[in-house]
Structure 1
Amino acid sequence: MVSLSRRRLLGVGLAGAGAALALAACGSGAGGEGQPRSGGTLRIGALGQPSKIERDPHQTLSNDSDFLILSLVFDALTVPGANPNTAPRLASRWTQLDDPRVWRFELAAGATFHDGSPVTSADVEWSLRRLHEIAGETKVPVVSAQDVTADGPSAVRLTTASPNRDLPLLLRLMTFTVKQGATDFTNPIGTGPFRLESFNDGNARLVRNERWHGGAPLLDAIEVQRFDSTTAMTNAILAGQIDLASNVGAVAGRTARTRSNLTVVRRPNDVVIPLVMRTSDGPFADARVRQALRLAADREELVKQITSGYGTVANDVLGTGDPTYDKTLARRGRDVPRAKALLAQAGFDTSARYQLFTKEEAAGEVDFAKVFANQAKDIGVNLEVVTQDANVFYDQTWLKAPLYTANWGTNDSVIFFASKTMYSGTKWNESGFKDPEFDATYLSALNAHDEATYTAASHTLQRIEYERGGYLVWGTADGVDVASSAVHGLPRLAGYGRVQLEKAWMSA
């Protein structure tokens, strides 16, 4: 992977290379070439369920609408970039010190809160410690909240348990900074490019922050409208009720591409909807059974049906957009006889019926579960698709059930998934995967001193996941946004890069 953490010392300022990265991440715009202009209100539709509305930036943000609002109000230390894939935000510069367990993050010069008060290291220390106390190492990869310390008035230090060369990447979009002592976010005071003017039932109006440290945004305001479904959001963009349908999915993209007043923005390697198979116990603990399920998948047909062609076949490895992605792994196709033989060797009970849990969260997630269940019949595996409310799913199923679907909107880093979902020490180990070789290789990757060593470790992680991991990764879906032809400068980055809207603008 190419990221800003590749060297011992990297100093990138938001006024210099960081701003260039932000511009590079945005195309010429959804509506074609033109001279950027200030002004206008951008009306954005985003998915969100009323039962999952969350206003605390350090809690789990299940709604796209909430994540969008909070990403505009608050700044993270680092954010996704184009090349390299980690860009500055509130942190303008970071350094791995002589002790490779310690990183120093310097704050952007002139960064202030919306009330005009300066952002200090005490604010960042408070925010990271609070985030760690709420979410643990999955969002702030240190052992204890005390491992985050202020270093002078405008820098913080993070000390990891072992050397971690990818810490800046692992902090992307997780580290929203709030004022020291803040716990009530009814009227949030952030540092981001937009200020919250009003909020009602997940809908919000945000206005330009003229004093933003990255330079004043071009738009006067952004109005975020929460939609319960992609169908409702699609109808709204087609009717001209909104200017941008964010992450609306392939069906809307296919409909909109025939409209001259609309533009489809495709962001490759955006969403991944894997099948999660529990490896530690239960009916899928035998690696041969998991391989059989992978061989049951007709990947080309899944991409065709689930993404309407707005996607790419994948090979059972998460992080397909990573520059170190191993393209030498044999392309796994459908092999029904081999799958049946593996099930027989493992003594798998094909007379039983197994539940496959899913939820209506990512576009196509439920459809994938249903199509795959039908494909699995050909190898003698009977799956009952159970669609749960997202709240029920995360309370009762996620991290526990033998078989379920997941979805991730960040797919450009193998080490990200190793850290968040497969390393035995993470709280988000979705498949209960505990593999000593994987753990040792993961730690060695974080301690690699050169690119060749890092790439070799990354390839080993991918091989282990490919051979005996707990995921069936059948494909990746493009991120699909639909925009009015009057909207320009939209981000083209996959995943959560789509929320970086400070360079967006509207033609008259």
Structure 2
Amino acid sequence: MSVTRRQLMWATAGIGAAGVLAACGGAKPGAGSTAPSSGAAGEQPRSGGTLKIGALGRASAVTRDPHGTQSNESDYLIISLLYDTLTIPGDTTNTAPRLAASWKPSEDLRTWRFTIADGATFHDGTPVTAEDVVWSLKRLRNTPSGKSRLPGIQPEGIQAEDARTVVLVSDYPNAELPLLTRLTTFVLKKDTKDDALAGAPGTGPFKLDWYRDGNARLVRNDRWYGGKPPLDAVEVRIFESPQAMANALLAGQIDVASNVGAVAARTAEARKDVQILRRPNDMAMPVVMRTADGPFADARVREALRLAVDRDAMVKQVLSGYGTVANDILGTGDPVYAKDVPQRRRDLDKARQLLAEAGFDTGRTYDLITTEDIAGLAESATLFATQVREAGVKINVVKQDSKVFWDATWLKGQLYTSYWGTNDSVVFFASKTMLSDAGQNEAGWNEPAFDEAYRKAMGTADATERGKLLHQLQEIEYAGSGYLLWGMADGIDLAGSAVRGLPTLPGYGRVQLEKTWLAR
């Protein structure tokens, strides 16, 4: 299992080199979107208080390594509050400054220079240097999934130019390189030993007070370069199920139940003392069909399955209406998302015809492998199986333990469910999951035309022209990839009535709690 699974992933697309530079000018670290106050108009943030927040995770999968495999959302939340990435999602631009105050590309779009924010220090008071960042990025790149975390960047392409400037050199022109720094580029002090990670100082808005069995208390970092956070402390509690977390919120044991799912939201709708925060386009739960070999390698078979799905029913039944119909293109929240591509509709007659033309064996029963990692995932597999049976395809849903799934099925299975906790970038998914040499090519897709379109788009500095090329990229994906993306789930948080300023951005943006405060 990779660090980009079950995490709050982000990405960016549609911002050209000029747009990226404009986004950085004068922006303040942590400038993200937050929920409007539910209190009186003109209510001002107040300082103080401890926010108790629940997050999903399993005690058996706890990790303290910022660059390690983080299968628990609770771990990722804790790490994101302690350690800063170079950039983060923004409310007016897809990429906003964080530990990197600004960045600038070379003319050929292969070399990018990132400047460290003024006043950035570690929790022990020592200044952050370019050497710290370089050491951290090289450590990240050298992890087992480092290629997918920093695609196109080799360890030798990460260098310090001076005390505050980090240089990243790409293997190819990449107008969207800053998007690579929005997920796991957590910065540690140079030469931090693996056995010292548990207490290693970070640069984030909160410092570690204590950590116990996946639960943690973090206290405000008064010297944070992004400004003093309102909260005195954040306590993160780990929960193994969304329902247990929702029950704790309804009982007043925690202030926020994060990423709790549609079922819990329906339960809380009658409670006037509970806020329901929805983040559209937050979670993608596609069915992955292996294209390299096996029964789904024929593009006609994949198209037949896409046509056999009743997408409206999937959204209504699996997501309880907390979501939207999708069109088999990942990155629906991207400004350059191809909204004009015709929406696929259910057509059972056409599906049966395509299966017959492909010589698909409808006498067999095919396993669809899924997990119960997130709310609705296994349910989506069951409903999918019911729907495609009407086209003559018999599916047996197999629920696997999470560890077995990620070790044995993910990237290898013929037919399985996947999920991604971000969806704001076409480029993100192209670079990480669909290029022929992508480190996380879930469907084993090898399409030279797609690869060529991607490279051409990334080598185009003009944002308008690049948008046109990315449209072509999406048309190729729509026609032949191994993804069946039937819908997009809303991200849902439940919060007590006193909570203010929770982030409303999807994916990684929702763990930025430096503006959150309590009206009590």
Normalized against structure 1, the TM-score is what? 0.97
Give the 3 Å change call, closer, same or farther, for CA 9–505 of structure 1 in structure 2: closer
In structure 2, the residue matched to 1:147 is 157
2:34 aligned with 1:26, yes or no? yes
Aligned positions of 1:365-380 closer than 5 A: 365-380=377-392
Name the aligned partner's letter for residue 162 of structure 1.
Answer: Y
1:442 & 1:362 partners in 2: Cα distance?
31
Tell me the secondary structure at the aligned position of residue 266 of structure 1: strand
Give the 3 Å change call, closer, same or farther, for CA 5–364 of structure 1 in structure 2: farther
**Deviation at 1:352?**
0.7
**Does structure 1 retain, via aligned residues, the 8 Å contact 2:14–2:467?**
no
**Deviation at 1:375?**
0.6
2:465 & 2:361 partners in 1: Cα distance?
43
Instruction: Count matched residues.
Output: 504
**Deviation at 1:324?**
0.8
Tell me the secondary structure at the aligned position of residue 18 of structure 1: coil
In structure 1, the residue matched to 2:474 is 462
In structure 2, the residue matched to 1:199 is 211
**Deviation at 1:270?**
0.3
In structure 1, the residue matched to 2:463 is 451
Please identify, of 76-85 and 63-72, the stretch whose mean Cα deviation from structure 2 is larger. Answer: 76-85
2:135 aligned with 1:126, yes or no? yes
In structure 2, the residue matched to 1:106 is 115
2:389 aligned with 1:381, yes or no? no
Runs (5+) with no aligned partner, structure 2? 1-12
Please identify, of 385-394 and 312-321, the stretch whose mean Cα deviation from structure 2 is larger. Answer: 385-394
2:91 aligned with 1:79, yes or no? no
Please identify, of 277-286 and 132-141, the stretch whose mean Cα deviation from structure 2 is larger. Answer: 132-141
Runs (5+) with no aligned partner, structure 1? none
Partner deviation per Cα, 1:398-457 (whole Å, 9 max, x = no partner): 000001011001101101100110011211000001100000001111111212221111
In structure 1, the residue matched to 2:434 is 422
Aligned positions of 1:65-464 closer than 5 A: 65-134=74-143, 135-182=145-192, 183=194, 184-464=196-476
Please identify, of 252-261 and 108-117, the stretch whose mean Cα deviation from structure 2 is larger. Answer: 252-261
1:321 & 1:30 partners in 2: Cα distance?
26
**Deviation at 1:29?**
3.2
Normalized against structure 2, the TM-score is what? 0.95
From 32, 45, 58, the counterpart of 1:36? 45
Give the 3 Å change call, closer, same or farther, for CA 6–98 of structure 1 in structure 2: closer
2:302 & 2:176 partners in 1: Cα distance?
30
**Does structure 1 retain, via aligned residues, the 8 Å contact 2:16–2:175?**
no
**Does structure 2 retain, via aligned residues, the 8 Å contact 1:5–1:167?**
no
**Deviation at 1:243?**
0.2
Partner deviation per Cα, 1:439-497 (whole Å, 9 max, x = no partner): 00011111112122211111111111111110000010110000001000000101121
1:95 & 1:131 partners in 2: Cα distance?
22
Q: Percent identity?
A: 55
Partner deviation per Cα, 1:239-296 (whole Å, 9 max, x = no partner): 1110000010111111112111110001111001000000110110000000011011
In structure 1, the residue matched to 2:8 is none
Give the 3 Å change call, closer, same or farther, for CA 354–103 of structure 1 in structure 2: same
Give the 3 Å change call, closer, same or farther, for CA 358–32 of structure 1 in structure 2: farther
1:340 & 1:238 partners in 2: Cα distance?
48
**Does structure 1 retain, via aligned residues, the 8 Å contact 2:503–2:510?**
yes
Give the 3 Å change call, closer, same or farther, for CA 297–304 of structure 1 in structure 2: same
Give the 3 Å change call, closer, same or farther, for CA 296–11 of structure 1 in structure 2: closer
1:30 & 1:400 partners in 2: Cα distance?
47
**Deviation at 1:30?**
5.4
Tell me the secondary structure at the aligned position of residue 146 of structure 1: strand
Tell me the secondary structure at the aligned position of residue 265 of structure 1: strand
**Does structure 1 retain, via aligned residues, the 8 Å contact 2:17–2:175?**
yes
2:498 aligned with 1:489, yes or no? no
**Deviation at 1:314?**
0.4
Please identify, of 193-202 and 449-458, the stretch whose mean Cα deviation from structure 2 is larger. Answer: 449-458
Please identify, of 337-346 and 449-458, the stretch whose mean Cα deviation from structure 2 is larger. Answer: 449-458
Tell me the secondary structure at the aligned position of residue 198 of structure 2: coil
Tell me the secondary structure at the aligned position of residue 479 of structure 2: helix
In structure 1, the residue matched to 2:61 is 52
**Does structure 1 retain, via aligned residues, the 8 Å contact 2:334–2:423?**
yes
**Does structure 2 retain, via aligned residues, the 8 Å contact 1:249–1:363?**
yes
Two-structure CA RMSD over aligned residues (Å): 1.4
In structure 1, the residue matched to 2:6 is none
Name the aligned partner's letter for residue 172 of structure 2.
Answer: S
**Does structure 1 retain, via aligned residues, the 8 Å contact 2:307–2:348?**
yes
**Deviation at 1:47?**
0.3
Partner deviation per Cα, 1:164-211 (whole Å, 9 max, x = no partner): 011111221220001101123121310000011111111110000001
Tell me the secondary structure at the aligned position of residue 399 of structure 1: coil
Name the aligned partner's letter for residue 68 of structure 1.
Answer: L
**Does structure 2 retain, via aligned residues, the 8 Å contact 1:2–1:83?**
no
Partner deviation per Cα, 1:28-61 (whole Å, 9 max, x = no partner): 2355642101100000000001221111010121
Name the aligned partner's letter for residue 302 of structure 1.
Answer: M
2:16 & 2:462 partners in 1: Cα distance?
14
**Does structure 2 retain, via aligned residues, the 8 Å contact 1:129–1:148?**
yes
